[in-house]
Amino acid sequence: MNAVPALHLSGRATIDGVSIFGPLSLNAPAGKWTCLLGPSGVGKSTILRLLAGLGDEIVFDGEVATGDGASLDGRVALMAQSDLLMPWMDVNANVTLGARLRGEVPDRDRARAMLERVGLTEHATKRPHALSGGQRQRAALARTLVEDRPVVLLDEPFSALDARSRALMQDLAAELLAGCTVLHVTHDAAEAARLGDKVLLMTRDRITAVTPPEGPTPRVYDASDTLAFQGRLLRLLMAAQ
């Protein structure tokens, strides 16, 4: 894995002349898990797309930078809101898609191990249409984790999972992405309260840091400080414009 950078984005974004967000500023520290929490439609996914170098339709007046000054090219893995599984490929092939697109030999042992970790070993030869929504999301998560990039951008990565699977996949992602710079977009105050080393609340014109409880992540979901922080985030989210 390459050097792990901090992320910085500042400016405003529009699409077809319509303001999406800004001006605002976002900072995600190197090697930490940053949760970006906010209501729908404020531009959280747009920020991920800009950091990933996507979104030709987005007009961005501002700066995207890294803490080490190097380009993000080749250092980013993105898990989008949609699972984006290729319908003609089985799960194995979908999980190793990135390597093949780059003309590399896929690390099939790593892919098999990752499928085992996300509980999809017995579904490895199935195509996406034969999977549930939660299974598809776990396959997309496995594909992201297999990439082994220092910067990982997650857009609602656990939203299709049942409560038990969500907690298990949160724990797995936190384990496997330890030491990476993670920017995780979520609408879920409970998720941000569990996972965020840094938690940011986004509205259309500002991003505000909300100090999480001290101690390691992922936090125990029913610990008093986790629940209190979840409640605080939900109150702020309810009041957000």
pLDDT digits (tens, 9 = 90+) for 150-180: 999 999 999 888 999 999 999 999 999 999 9
Which residues, including other chains, have CB under 8 Å from residue 130's CB and lie 6 or more apart? 123
- pLDDT of 209 reads 96
Percent of the chain residues past pLDDT 70, beyond the cut:
99
Whose CA is closest to 144, among 82, 89, 194? 82
Which residues, including other chains, have CB under 8 Å from residue 96's CB and lie 6 or more apart? 106, 107, 108, 111, 143, 146
- pLDDT of 94 reads 95
Q: How confident is the model at residue 3 (pLDDT cuts 50, 70, 90)?
A: confident
Residue 64: burial class (beta carbons within 10 Å; 0-12, 13-18, 19+): middle
Fold entry, domain 1-68+191-241: Rossmann fold (3.40.50)
What's the predicted TM-score (pTM) here? Answer: 0.94
Q: How confident is the model at residue 241 (pLDDT cuts 50, 70, 90)?
A: low
- pLDDT of 56 reads 85
Asked whether the predicted pLDDT for residue 7 surpasses 80, the reply is yes
In whole numbers, what is the pLDDT of the chain averaged over residues?
Answer: 93
Distance CA(97)–CA(223), nearest Å, equals: 39
C-alpha dihedral, 174 to 236 to 153 to 126, nearest 10°? 70
Distance CA(97)–CA(99), nearest Å, equals: 6
